[in-house]
Structure 1
Amino acid sequence: MLFDSLKRRIVLLCIVALSVIWLGALAISYLDARKEVRELFDAHLAQAASLLAAQSGAELEEIDTDHAVDLHKYAHSVSFQIWNAGTHLGLHSANAPATALGTRDEGFSDREIDGVQWRVFTSWDQERENLIYVGEKVATRDHLLKEMVEHLLQPMLYALPLLALLLWLAVYLGLRPLDRVTAEIARRDPQRLDAVDAIGAPSEVRPLIGQLNQLLARIAESLDNTRRFTADAAHELRTPLAAIRAQAQVAQGSHARDEQDRAIQQVLRGCDLATHLIEQLLTLARLDASSRPACEPVELRALVAEVLAEVAASAVNTQVAVALEEGDSLQLQIQPGLIRVLLRNLLDNAIRYSPAGSEVSVAIHTGNRNAIIDVLDSGPGIPADQLERVFDRFHRVLGSAQPGSGLGLSIARRIAEIHGGSILIQPREEGAGLRVRTTLPVR
């Protein structure tokens, strides 16, 4: 299309702008020139009338106007009349009409005679015996102004195509760095995600190249995360699948009923572990691919109570008590399904690592326009140098005998981040265990 090209758009807009400015200047010049030309012609008429008035009556009668030679192409458009006593036509130019040219006894006037418009200056001679009219055809003045406008327009008609060509050349040369960047990107292999060279690019293009390089960096990081995720997922799935296969072979090769039952129980346990790992992987994949979720108003304390009720059975099996501390109700704009996953992962970890007979508690409070959820356990804690690493995918604390995928905290942090919040792990101020603090903004 016409405006699809940046070069054509710039050239056309410049030509239109110059044309508007040129035409505006031409209109102003024309109006000013018309005023000056009319004043100049009026001055000539007044001057001619004063020269005729300065001559004596006898001298004027001796002038032969019938055989006078026109010395200029516009001479026939100027006429004069001398009326004796203002009533009888005396000396006059050959092209003067028989009717009095003017309509006034003194000064300038306009009159139409036989379809011809005249501009006339009227004056008496010194003795006030002769009334002198000197007139000029208005058509001659208009013709001169028309020629003046044409002469002003002609350079524009020749200059605009030349100007358009020069502008096109200037725009082409000015946008060559952008063409170079376009060509470089077009030649790139899909796997090449290194930064585009901005050396030599104009300052207007550098922000675009900078944003493009940032996008390429984010894409490269996303691809690297995807590759690591795929490799780690394959590695983590290999372990429970190998265990399931081994136990299935034991059950297949055993003839003792008790040994077969134990092997089948191990197969089922391995299937549960594999299922849990796959669910965690799918959840993490969905979180990585999504942007901010669709939120809705949720009463946070009621949601936490529901999740505590869901994990109560597993807590009873490990002889761990769960409790929700007293506090005010608080309504948040959140995605309840994702926050439920976050809370369940944190509570599962707390219950799994807490010793029998201990308690896992949840406290809810506010601070700095944030909702704060603290999950406190009585477990062995985490070494200080690994407090941040536990959020890495598939990371397990060395020496831990508890089963798990190493994805729960990664998923919880990602859910908090897409809600605009964060998760922080700290040792408890009193006694053994950890405080896992989730901060969510109150909107």
Structure 2
Amino acid sequence: MAISLRRRLLTILLSLILLIWLFAVVLTVLHSRSVVLKQIDERLIRYADMGQHTIEAVLGDPQVRHYFQNRATHSESNPFARMTGFNEGQEQVINLWFGESNIQLSENSQRLPKPESTGLITKIVARDDDSSEWRIIYRHLPAFNVWLAVGVDLEHARRNGAATFWQIVLPLLIAMPLTAGFLIVGVERGLAPLQVLAEDIAARNPHAMTPLNIDDIPRELRPVVNALNGLLERLERALASESRFTANAAHELQTPLSAIKAEVQRCLRLETDTATRSMLHGIETRVRRSADTVQQLLTLARLDPDQEFKRNHFDVSELLLDVIADMGGIAHDRDLELDMDFAPAISLTGNAEWMRVLLRNLIANAFKYADAGSVVGIAIKQSESDVELVIENACSPLPSDVYQRLSERFFRPAGQRANGVGLGLSIVQRIAELHDASVQLGAVSERGGFRVMVNWPIG
């Protein structure tokens, strides 16, 4: 599976944001617990200060002090007392101890444990069939022999803290998908220069070896572009070297082949022995075939389906007549009859020399492989949308699977006796691609024959 830079970047960023969010939630929980506990302690201290001040003010009255010291004493029948009118809640309570007597300042108040020392403590306190955790502050007033206890139910405080926590976390939960959405959009926009660079490279012509412009390239992509420019420079040198080699090799091969051909023809004129002449004719045929092969290879090497070239208007009917006139010697030698149906003055746009090569290869194949004494049909017509060339000849039927391979290089069907190297239709296909044309090969009928159709769309 191909690695997606976009998916990888989004996965990393979203994972980091999620981890940071979870870390923030954990910190918020821990901090909120600490803050809640700190606030509870501060509130308990304030209430204890208020209670201590109130007790000192009230018990400063001798009559009130006499009442609590003599009337509100501990007994087995009444170990503690509850006073109404102070605090009706159960989450926060105040307890007083006068000696062994315990007073709870609410009829619903929780009875707190008897004090052992002053200060803040956290203690599990039982209530009916349940128990809960309480935070309690104890104060001792030795002047009046009174213990003061103020307690808060931590479970209730934590429930309130949880509500506050969700009020804090809820915006984060809402912001999380929004952050992910903005992040996806941001990554898409951030990777846009990479997409532009890819489109730039894809739109370049294969023969365009000029370096890519790095002025508008992000700093992070410049090493890649510089490396690509270096590759283009090396590739340009390699292609130039290959082109020079091809041209030089073709020239070096054609020159000695032409010399050998001339020498063989000279020997043929001078030689009278039948066997020797037959051998020299064979040599001449092979030399001519080798020269044709070199010329066809050189032509094929110059034709690149993606290359740009100068296009001109030309009359394809006139060009076809010129090619037929040049190849008329083959038709005459094989006693062929031509059935031509031309529409006059059909104009096409392209490279006239390459089109001449295409027509020459098609006409040469039609003449060479037609049955001797048969008819070769050549028709070209124009419609509103296209120009169509049809060439037909009479020959032995070919297997259906052969037609798909005729455009392959160096492919020749079995049993062919005519001279050829199997490059003609490959060159035709290449030139047709350069001119946005299509080539179709097939049989004339079930009894045999060969038909080639070339279609050029107009415009």
TM-score, with structure 1 as normaliser = 0.50
TM-score, with structure 2 as normaliser = 0.48
